[in-house]
Amino acid sequence: MNRSGLHSMPNVVEIKPGAGLKWNEIRCIDALEGIREIPDKCIDLGFADPPFNIDLESNVNNGKAFSEKKEGTISYYDDLLDPVEYEAWCGKWLSEMIRTCQKVIVYCGNVNVPMFHRIREPLDEIVYFTKFNTIITSCAWAGRYRPLLVYASDKNSFLGRPPGENCKFDTNVIVKSRQFFDKSEERDRKVLRHPCPIDRELIHAILVQMKPRSFLDPFAGSGTTLYMAKKLGVEKWIGFEKNPAYRADHEFLLNKAKRVAVQSKLV
Ligand SMILES: C[S@@+](CC[C@H](N)C(=O)[O-])C[C@H]1O[C@@H](n2cnc3c(N)ncnc32)[C@H](O)[C@@H]1O
């Protein structure tokens, strides 16, 4: 197998693309299984926040299970693959995302930037600055900024340096100050059980700037990105999350999105 995992990717398409595609839900299935059902280029924007392969539980929570920290908190997910296996796996889902989505953004964690560059050179990097610089782990990703890697099969359809006509961001950078928790999140956190939901403001900024009509998140986790998509009125969205333990999070957030959706549309 080559390092990228792309060329060696087995051509497994047992499922006819499009056969089972149902929009506007988070399916509890493996991301690869889900994406392979999606026909080519039928989604405007894909956003991936995959496991970073950093042994999340022991790094971030001092080796304690999350369940020990907060009653009712679900544990983590498998975050310690063999590095070669991890790279090959990332190559597979990234290649499927590029096949199915016009534009793809990967929130890869600082620690994985070189690996993603090896797998497939991104068109650009969106640098996302945060106020959050507490060092909670020895891993390099816990710095003040996180890069988001940008891919597209047709580079004219997306960012490039210098920004082209279709570029939706004026520079190649989103500068974003993160409030650690906004009030609603704090309230939600009493209910949500996922250990590492992504910053809602970041997703809000991306969706507002890019205005996708369809959106995919293959690693939905608690469902933050799909919540924002639904809330902002993205017509068609779909997510996959393999751990059924987070179903209650999805239900909570998607129901909440239903209630607030009218307030803020993308148009
Ligand atoms: C970094 S978390 C995503 C967090 C999410 N953005 C949120 O805001 O809650 C990565 C998620 O990917 C899920 N995951 C890991 N491997 C997967 C796979 N093969 N298919 C689908 N989901 C997977 C994990 O269970 C975990 O919830």
Residue extents of the structural domains in the chain = 25-255
CATH of domain 25-255: 3.40.50.150
Q: What is the pLDDT of residues 145-196, one digit of tens each?
A: 667 888 887 766 654 444 444 444 433 345 444 444 455 666 677 788 887 8
Q: How far is the CA of 241 from the centre of ligand 1 (A)?
A: 6
By most ligand atoms within 8 Å of CB, the mutation choice from 241, 249, 254 for ligand 1 is: 241
Residue 240 CA: nearest ligand 1 atom is: 21
Q: 72 pLDDT exceeds 70?
A: no
Give the pLDDT of residue 76: 65
Give the position, in ligand 1's atom list, of the atom nearest the Cα of 93: 19
User: Can you give the pLDDT at residue 194?
Assistant: 83
- pTM, two decimals, is 0.82
- Whole-angstrom distance, CA of residue 199 vs CA of residue 181: 9
| CA 30 / ligand 1 centre spacing (Å) | 9
At residue 19 the predicted structure's pLDDT band, cuts being 50, 70 and 90, is low
* Short-list 222, 249, 194, 241, CA closest to 30: 241
Pocket residue to mutate for ligand 1, from 28, 57, 77, most atoms within 8 A of Cβ: 77
Q: How confident is the model over 128-153, as a mean pLDDT?
A: 58
Residue pair 45/258 in contact (Cβ under 8 Å)? The answer is no
